Amino acid sequence: MDIPNPEGSDFGFNKFMNSIDAIVMGRITFEQVLKFGDWPYIKPVFVLSNTLQTVPELLENKVKIIKGEPKSVVENLKSMKYKNLYIDGGKIVQGFLQEDLIDELIITRIPILLGEGIPLFTKLNKEQKYEHIKTEFFNNTLVKSKHKRIKNT
């Protein structure tokens, strides 16, 4: 994917990375990130997979494979002092949404239609409401919107 970036912007990536404690992603997303070349993450990464057994040797101190349902994954990571989790990957996001474990949605849209892939949203057990917090534009190409979960009290 070739996105124009004449100013060398990180599109808010470093600021975002500084706002989280760890990343939880699925196997498919992990395998896609491996194709990028250099490892882009400065935070611990937990790959949620029932099939993946090992990670590349160079990433052994940066990536851990975990198993379990979303609720138990969150509880386990919180017990390890990881509070602000970035959940990445279509199937993984869907599972965490089903369990109502997503407090914020940050969605970046790129004006390229891939024609394939895993949808980010599917049918949910119940409606979830989110409040728009802000939208940012980067290089007149990327649109990043942040929404916060409105929980019924």
- The predicted-structure confidence for 99-137, as pLDDT tens digits, reads as follows 999 999 999 888 888 788 777 788 888 999 999 999 998
Residue 67 in any domain: the answer is: yes
In a domain, 50, yes or no: yes
Give me the mean pLDDT over the 69-96 stretch: 95
Lowest pLDDT segment from 30-34, 80-84, 141-145? 141-145
Q: Domain range holding 135?
A: 13-150
Number of domains in the chain: 1
Query: Against a cut of 0.95, is the pTM above it?
Result: no
Whether 3 is in a domain gets the answer: no
Give how far Cα 6 sits from Cα of 11, 26, 97, 140, Å: 12, 32, 36, 11
Q: Is the dihedral angle over the CA atoms 22, 24, 27, 31 positive or is it negative?
A: negative
